[in-house]
Structure formats: structure tokens, C-alpha cells
């Protein structure tokens, strides 16, 4: 992945981090929870977008985004510059970007494998000769090979992923309800007591042992 992309991403994220830094000042006195949610909305969302492809980039180049991540949580938590990054991650509950990318990658491949008719599942199941990349470590592994390795490292097997079932008919149409419209045979001009007596006879019949739902049927 080109360095220019990370540089442009860095400039955009620095502007978003500046908003969090402004609200963290004493003049605004924003709460810690608000600052952390602001960071997650403005900065982390951009860091997550397309991040599963960053695993194929140079490690030193991707460290540019790690600095943005650390600066954002430092502003949100109000920690000193001398505070250890590991402590900041533990306090804010934010994992390192490398671990977060693995999590997003696993969620992505699980969603693809759960839908067999997905158009990209063919590329994930395609055999890319992984032995070639073992012999030559300088070669960039394709996305499908890296995702399968991450699943294997985390003891996730494709056959254990549940398949998403698509219903041809909505579930609300799968039930056959018994509808009694016998009261519609009576003329509306009859006294109200007549309808009440007939209605009481209907609900006490042996055929109505299940749950009963009543409606005035004004639209029928």
C-alpha cells in the first residue's frame, strides 16, 4: 500500500484529533466518556475503514496510524505525555490497532462464510499456494490467505460458522390463523345485547382453546 495514502490519512485524522483536544481543555471541560465517544466516532471509525487491507502493508508505514491512535486516546483520557501506551489502552479499553484489525478481519470473513451465495466467497476459498509465501517471505500474501491463517491461529474453523438462512416468505405469513366472521352476518341495526350474547357463545365454544384476538374489523 502506498505511503501517500497513509500520509493523507494522517492529515485527515490529525484534524479530527484536534477537535477532541479542543474539547478536553479547561474552557470546555468535557467529560471523559464524551471525549472517548468523540474519539471513537471521529477518529477510530476512519482508522477502521478498510483496515483489514493494512495488514499487507509495511509495518513501519502502518505505525503512522498507531501514533494517531495513541494521541487520540491520550487526549480523551487527559493523560500526560509520559504515560505508558499500554496503560492508556488498559484504562480506555481500546485494543492496539493491530489487534483490532485482526478482529475486524475475522468478523469480515465470518460474515462472508455465513452467506454461501456471497459473490466474494469464491476468492476466499481459492487456493493461493501458501507454500510459495513460506519460501519467499518478501511476497505479499493475498487477503484470502491471510484471513485463513488468522482463523487458524484463533482456532476458528469454517465448518463451525452458522449459515445465514434467507426466508422466501416473511415469518408473519407462515401461520394459518382461524378467523371467525360469523358476526358479520347480523344486521347492524339489531340491539347491542344480541351481539354480546352471540359473542359470548363464540368465545366459550370448545373449538376456541387457543389464544384469541379480537378486532372490530372496521376495514373489512
- Digit-by-digit pLDDT tens for the chain (220 residues) are 556 777 888 888 888 888 888 887 777 767 888 888 888 999 999 888 888 888 777 777 778 888 888 888 888 888 888 888 888 888 888 888 888 988 888 888 888 888 877 777 766 666 666 666 667 667 777 777 777 778 888 888 877 887 777 666 666 666 666 777 777 777 777 787 888 888 888 777 755 566 767 666 555 4
Name the 3-class secondary structure at 27.
coil
Number of helices and strands (H, E) in the chain? 10, 0
Domain for residue 108, yes or no? yes
96: CB partners within 8 A, 6+ apart: 66, 69, 89
Residues 86, 38 within the same domain? yes
As for how many domains the chain has, the answer is 2
State which of 123, 143, 167 marks the end of a domain. Answer: 167
Residues 59, 145 within the same domain? no
Domain for residue 186, yes or no? no
What is the C-alpha separation between 100 and 219, in angstroms, rounded? 54
Amino acid at each position: 500500500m502506498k505511503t501517500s495514502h497513509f500520509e493523507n490519512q494522517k492529515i485527515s485524522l490529525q484534524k479530527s484529533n484536534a477537535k477532541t483536544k479542543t474539547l478536553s481543555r479547561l474552557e470546555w471541560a468535557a467529560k471523559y466518556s464524551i471525549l472517548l465517544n468523540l474519539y471513537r466516532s471521529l477518529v477510530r471509525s476512519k482508522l477502521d475503514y478498510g483496515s483489514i487491507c493494512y495488514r499487507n502493508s509495511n509495518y513501519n508505514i502502518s505505525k503512522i496510524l498507531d501514533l494517531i491512535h495513541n494521541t487520540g486516546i491520550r487526549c480523551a483520557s487527559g493523560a500526560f505525555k509520559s504515560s505508558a501506551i499500554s496503560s492508556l489502552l488498559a484504562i480506555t479499553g481500546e485494543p492496539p490497532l493491530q489487534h483490532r484489525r485482526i478482529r475486524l478481519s475475522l468478523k469480515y470473513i465470518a460474515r462472508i462464510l455465513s452467506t454461501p451465495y456471497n459473490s466474494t466467497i469464491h476468492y476466499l476459498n481459492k487456493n493461493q499456494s501458501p507454500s510459495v509465501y513460506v519460501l519467499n517471505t518478501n511476497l505479499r500474501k493475498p487477503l484470502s490467505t491471510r484471513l485463513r491463517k488468522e482463523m487458524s491461529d484463533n482456532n476458528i474453523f469454517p465448518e463451525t460458522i452458522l449459515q445465514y438462512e434467507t426466508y422466501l416468505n416473511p415469518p408473519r405469513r407462515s401461520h394459518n390463523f382461524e378467523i371467525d366472521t360469523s358476526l358479520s352476518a347480523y344486521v347492524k341495526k339489531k340491539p347491542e345485547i344480541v351481539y354480546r350474547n352471540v359473542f359470548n357463545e363464540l368465545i366459550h365454544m370448545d373449538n376456541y382453546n387457543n389464544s384469541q384476538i379480537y378486532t372490530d374489523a372496521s376495514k373489512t
